[in-house]
Structure 1
Amino acid sequence: MAGRSRSTASDWVDYAAREVLDITLMRAHFKTHRFERHSHERFSIALTTSGVQSFHCGGALRVSLPGDLILFNPDQAHDGHQGAPEGFGYTMLYVPIETMTGNSDPDAHLLLGRHFSTPVARDPDLARQFVAAVAAIEQPGETLRGQELVTAFFSALMRRHGERARSDLAVASTGARRMSLARDYLAANFHRDVAIAELAAMTQLSRAHFSRAFTRHYGVPPHVWLNAVRLSQARRMLLHGEPAAEVAVACGFADQSHFSRRFKGAMGVSPARWLQQMRRD
């Protein structure tokens, strides 16, 4: 990280935008910060590099040790905190959905999974490929090599730890259509303070039934999914030069303080610091 020592005695975060396949790279170490429950619109792939990383995901407490891969699907809710006094360090790639799912090749009989089957995987060979892929995308002037190594890593990752979507989530089902309608409504109204009654009425379900159905279908409660949409839009607006105070209001947050809390709770760093890092280089 430019201008600071990457000490394991304190919290630090370093984000970097990479042109290779529109990937965002993050390196971090946390000892005191606790991530609130959140999700991302992209695939999130991390390698724990030090300490013990603990998080809740899929209804269970997970633990990641050095050398373990952490694999989050888009919209998969999780939190994060230290699992040992020394904290934990990790490197993460935020990967567009089309990049991860675009590696299947039916003509070559290569049909890969479309989501990860487990949030933690101990796979030393893939851990080495991860390190090599990260080094490649950080090498200036070698975009082709970076794309090749990253694509090979993603394909191997999905072959070993990916699976096809479950049949009970088929988009043709009545329940799925209702949940898709609610999700589209949230995406179109992220700037508003949406009430659960609106969504329940739209799907013709009780409020409790709707909340359970949405969580079961997408793996994340409606408010967590809405927060992810808001933060995704906020990041785009910040990168386009919009002032943080205006971004907060436009994205449905009560004020700039509320926006900053939710942003740091999901990203581990303030909006201003994130923007500074993403614009670097």
Structure 2
Amino acid sequence: MHDWIKNAAHSSKIERIEAFFSNHAYKPHSHDTFAIGRTLSGVQSFHYRGEFRHSQPGMTMVLHPDEKHDGESGSQDGFRYRMIYIEPAIVQKMIKGKPLPFIPNGISHDPRLFRATDTLLQHLEYQFESLEEEDALYDLATVLCEVSGQNLQKNHSYDYVAAERAREFIHASLDQNISLDDLEKNVDRDRWSLSRDFRLLFGTSPHRYMTMRRLDIVKTCLISGMSLIDATMTAGFFDQSHMSRHFVKTFGITPNRWKEINQFRSCKR
């Protein structure tokens, strides 16, 4: 059976996928979103935080932003799974400047978390109403905080407003070579304090966040049929090799392989 990836209908909040891999899926990589999902069949095995994990039906995977992981089949029959990718900025709108919830093992057996993901991990043809999706995201963020067991009342000071302004400035400057100095001047916050808060509140560094948004543009361009070099230039990367290195580091496969799998998925629909 061929490997495949299917993408859900457009959602204004999250990315949803379902995929099947017969053997090896992804090289070690990381992304700047929460990756939350469940294995539908087979055994989904991956290295995470120094240990080899095994996800099976009934469990919930919660991979923290910027935590390196890979993926392969833990059985001879391959594995099928659904995943949602949620930007930390969305979670922050609900927890309002507190540290992001963290599930150390990457896999949870907690029934509260399994129930909280039911709505968002429905079959990909299901289209959410706006309020339904927002309510489901709020419920999930709340349960993540409960299950993580973090003490969210610690006496730390985080400038969420400044970090959010920096995030918005990055979105407006994807075609430019900006620096922490530019962020400091435009946000009016000490660069090192801003960098610390950005990492804590959005799960990754300002530069990594900017790179990820450019890679989002690359993926959109490739799906639309654009060539690799044109997608690279449109997204603001220096050159194709520069983009490809970041692509593999982030998604665990080359841009050509990613495009090939998605083209196969489109033909099968």
1:64-213 alignment runs, 5 A limit: 64-67=53-56, 68-72=59-63, 76-81=65-70, 91-94=81-84, 118=103, 119-123=106-110, 137=123, 143=126, 158=140, 161-163=143-145, 175-213=159-197
Query: TM-score w.r.t. structure 1 length?
Result: 0.62
Q: Which residue in the other structure is 1:45 paired with?
A: 37
- Structure 2 residue runs without a partner (length 5+): 92-99
Q: Which residue in the other structure is 1:237 paired with?
A: 221
Alpha-carbon distance between aligned partners in 2 of 1:160 and 1:185, rounded to the nearest angstrom = 28
Distance 1:80 1:128, change over 3 A: same
Alpha-carbon distance between aligned partners in 2 of 1:266 and 1:188, rounded to the nearest angstrom = 22
Q: CA deviation at 1:224?
A: 2.0
Query: What SS does the aligned partner of 1:77 have?
Result: coil
Q: CA deviation at 1:183?
A: 0.6
Q: CA deviation at 1:121?
A: 0.4
1:17 corresponds, among 7, 17, 20, to 7
Q: How many residues align?
A: 239
1:240-259 alignment runs, 5 A limit: 240-259=224-243
Retained in 1: the 8 A contact 2:46–2:53? yes
Distance 1:167 1:176, change over 3 A: farther
Letter in 2 for 1:35: P
Letter in 2 for 1:70: M
Retained in 1: the 8 A contact 2:30–2:251? no
Q: CA deviation at 1:174?
A: 7.9
Alpha-carbon distance between aligned partners in 2 of 1:211 and 1:62, rounded to the nearest angstrom = 29
- RMSD of equivalent CA atoms: 4.6
Distance 1:44 1:190, change over 3 A: farther
Query: Which segment is superposed worse, 24-33 or 239-248?
Result: 24-33
Q: CA deviation at 1:77?
A: 1.9
Letter in 1 for 2:145: E
Distance 1:262 1:244, change over 3 A: same
Alpha-carbon distance between aligned partners in 1 of 2:222 and 2:180, rounded to the nearest angstrom = 29
Query: TM-score w.r.t. structure 2 length?
Result: 0.65
Letter in 2 for 1:230: R
Alpha-carbon distance between aligned partners in 2 of 1:80 and 1:52, rounded to the nearest angstrom = 10
Query: What SS does the aligned partner of 2:236 have?
Result: coil
Query: Which segment is superposed worse, 258-267 or 204-213?
Result: 204-213
Q: CA deviation at 1:80?
A: 0.6
Between the aligned residues of both structures, percent identity stands at 15
- Structure 1 residue runs without a partner (length 5+): 5-12, 102-114
Letter in 1 for 2:109: R
Retained in 2: the 8 A contact 1:63–1:83? no
Q: CA deviation at 1:126?
A: 7.3
Letter in 2 for 1:18: A
Q: CA deviation at 1:197?
A: 2.1
Letter in 2 for 1:163: C
Q: CA deviation at 1:17?
A: 1.9
Letter in 2 for 1:179: A
Retained in 1: the 8 A contact 2:18–2:81? yes
Q: Which residue in the other structure is 1:105 paired with?
A: none
Q: Which residue in the other structure is 1:106 paired with?
A: none
Q: Which residue in the other structure is 2:205 paired with?
A: 221
Alpha-carbon distance between aligned partners in 1 of 2:162 and 2:43, rounded to the nearest angstrom = 43
Q: CA deviation at 1:160?
A: 8.8
Retained in 2: the 8 A contact 1:77–1:220? yes
